[in-house]
Amino acid sequence: MSTRTFEKQILVAGVGNAWLRDDAFGGEAARRLERDGVPSGVTVMDFGTSGLDLAYEVMRGYDALILLDASRQGERPGTLFVIEPQRDQFAGALEDGEAIDPHAMDPHTVLRFVSATGGWPGKVVVIGCEPGEVDDVGLGLTPAVEAAVERALTLVRETIATLRTDAAYGG
């Protein structure tokens, strides 16, 4: 009898508002990654500000989600960070009558919604970048965040390679 290994299904999701300068980090990184190509089993999508679409896509049943996002952590603009949120951080049913605004679904709300509906992937990794400018309307990344995109893609590729292995899931 042979053991059959199934290919891991991984979603790489860029999020952010392209009209708010550095908030476009996630989408820009996703577009470049898709342009450069990814291994089979990996899907790359730029969700922009459509958190509800992201939530529904995650619920299709991926083994892992890599979320690319600009996020203020109090560091220098362009600083990258990797966070592996656990499902219990987002646990708990949505309260009866609690509204989730489909136009304001930031990554935290998306993960909470996905957790509450039972669609949590096996692994979630957030690769974030400290933004410089996100408060005023404008197009294009600032130089510090632009320089961070290629470094972020290296992190994404390393993370994909790890998530394609059974060891990443404790099994």
* Tens digits of pLDDT across the chain (171 residues): 555 568 999 999 999 888 889 989 999 999 999 999 999 999 999 988 877 788 888 888 899 999 999 988 899 999 999 988 877 766 655 565 555 655 555 667 777 777 777 777 788 999 999 999 877 888 889 999 999 999 999 999 999 999 999 888 875
Structure tokens at 1: 């009898």
What residue type is 109 in one-letter code? T
| CA–CA gap between residue 117 and residue 111 (Å, rounded) | 10
Query: The domain containing residue 155 runs over which residues?
Result: 10-169
Looking at residue 158, what DSSP letter applies?
H
Q: The pTM is what?
A: 0.86
Is residue 5 situated within a structural domain? no
Helix (H, G, I), strand (E, B) or coil at 11: strand
Q: Residue 107 maps to which CATH number? A: 3.40.50.1450
Looking at residue 90, what DSSP letter applies?
G
Q: Residue 135's pLDDT is what?
A: 79
The tally of domains found in the chain comes to 1
Is residue 1 situated within a structural domain? no
Taking the CA atoms of residue 55, residue 85, residue 147 and residue 10 in that order, the dihedral angle to the nearest 10 degrees is -50
What residue type is 79 in one-letter code? T
Q: Residue 102's pLDDT is what?
A: 54
| CA–CA gap between residue 85 and residue 112 (Å, rounded) | 11
Is residue 150 situated within a structural domain? yes
Q: Residue 150's pLDDT is what?
A: 95
Is residue 95 situated within a structural domain? yes
Is residue 2 situated within a structural domain? no
Q: Residue 171's pLDDT is what?
A: 59
